[in-house]
A and B are shown apart, each in its own frame.
Chain A
Amino acid sequence: TIGMVAIDRNGSLAVGTSTNGLRHKIPGRVGDSPIPGSGAYVDQDVGGAAATGDGDIIMRFLPSYQAVENMRQGMSPKTAANEAIARIVKKYPKAMAAIVAADNAGRYGAACINIEGGFPYSVVNPKLGNVTAERVDCL
C-alpha cells in the first residue's frame, strides 16, 4: 500500500491511498486503505495522515482520523502519530501498523509498531530539496 499526504503551493491539502490489499485474502475482503479516517484522513484546518499495515486491525482504530484530531489538540505530527499508533498497541500488541502525519504548516512525523528495522517513508519539501528516505524506530 501507498498512503500519501500532499500540500500544494496554495496550502491546500489532500491525502490518498492505493493498494491491492493482503495476499491470500478471503475474496471480498477490504482493508483500511479506502476508508476515510482509517487509511487516510485530512482536515484542511489541521493537517493530514495516512496509515499502512494490517488493515483488518487498523480500521478498528481510525488512526488517520485520530492523528489529525491529535494535531488539532496541539500535538506535533510526530507526537500525534505516536499517540494514534499507541492506541493500536494497547489492544493488539502484535499488529503491524505505521502512519505518516503532516500539519497544514508542513511539519511532519511518523510512527510504527512491529516493523523490523523501523518504518521507512519518503518525503520532500523545499528545504530537503530532493526526495529523501527517512526512517522512524517503532514504539
Chain B
Amino acid sequence: RGILPLVINTWNFSNATLNAWTTLSSGGSAVDAIVSGCSTCEREQCDHTVGWGGSPDENGESTLDAMIMDGPSHKVGAVAGMRRVKDAISVARKVLDNTQHSLLVGDFATEFAVQMGFKEENISSDWSLKTWEDWKANKCQPNYWQNVEPNPRENCGPYKPVKRDAKNENINRNLVNYENHD
C-alpha cells in the first residue's frame, strides 16, 4: 500500500525534498511543492547542475530549463534555454498559470519572465566562468561536435561540416556523469 502525501526527487538533494515536504505539510498544493523544492535547488545550485551559474555552454553562458506538469488539469508550463533570469521553475509556473501555452524558449522566455516581474541579470558565477576558461585552455575538450573540421577532438571551433564518418560518432557520451547531467 502507498502512503500519502509524498515527495520524491532525483539525486540526493535533500533540502529540496524537505522544502517541498514543508510546503505540503503547511497545506500547499502539489504544484506549490514542486516550485518550492526545485527553487531550493536553484538557489543552492545543486551540484552546479541546477540554477544560475552552472554548466556553462561553449560561449560561457549558463541558460536554464524548467518544467511543471499539473496532474488534475494535465497542463504544462515550461521554459527552455532561458537566458539571464535565475528563477526558472517560478517562470515555468507563470507559463502554467498565466498562459495557454506549454513551452517558451530562449530570449522570448526571458522577455516573458521580465513581463511577469522577474529580474533580468547576469547569471554567470565565478565557478561557471572558471569552468569555461579551463575548458577553453584544454582545447575545448570535451565537446559534442562530430563530422566537422577542424577535428573537434583536438581543436576549438568554429567548425565546418565534413562528410559523415559513422565511426567517429557518439564517442563522447561518457562525458555525462554524476556531476554533469540533465
Contacts and interface: CB of A to CB of B under 8 A. Distances in A.
B113 interface: no
Interface in A54-74: 54-58
* Majority DSSP secondary structure for residues of B touching A: mixed
Given A27-B59, A96-B181, A8 B28 contact: yes
Contacts of B105: 30
Interface residues of A, number: 80
A98 B12 CA distance: 13
Contacts of B54: 20
B5 interface: yes
Given A1-B10, A19-B182, A52-B10, A8 B65 contact: no
Contacts of A3: 9-10
Nearest to A106: B2
B17 A18 contact: no
Interface in A95-139: 95-96, 98-100, 102-108, 110, 115-116, 119-127, 131, 133
A47 B20 CA distance: 18
B85 interface: no
Given A4-B38, A42-B69, A48-B71, A23 B56 contact: yes
Contact-residue size bin, chain B (C-beta under 8 Å from the other chain) = 35 or more
Interface of A: 1-36, 39-44, 48, 50-58, 92, 94-96, 98-100, 102-108, 110, 115-116, 119-127, 131, 133
B65 A19 contact: yes
A34 B106 CA distance: 12
Nearest to B177: A96
A115 B11 CA distance: 11
Contact of A1 (B39, B81, B181): B181
B69 to A, nearest CB: 5
B8 A102 contact: yes
Nearest to A31: B182
Interface in B154-182: 173-174, 176-178, 180-182
B33 A21 contact: no
A26 B67 contact: no
Contact of B182 (A9, A54, A102): A54
Contact of B55 (A25, A106, A125): A25
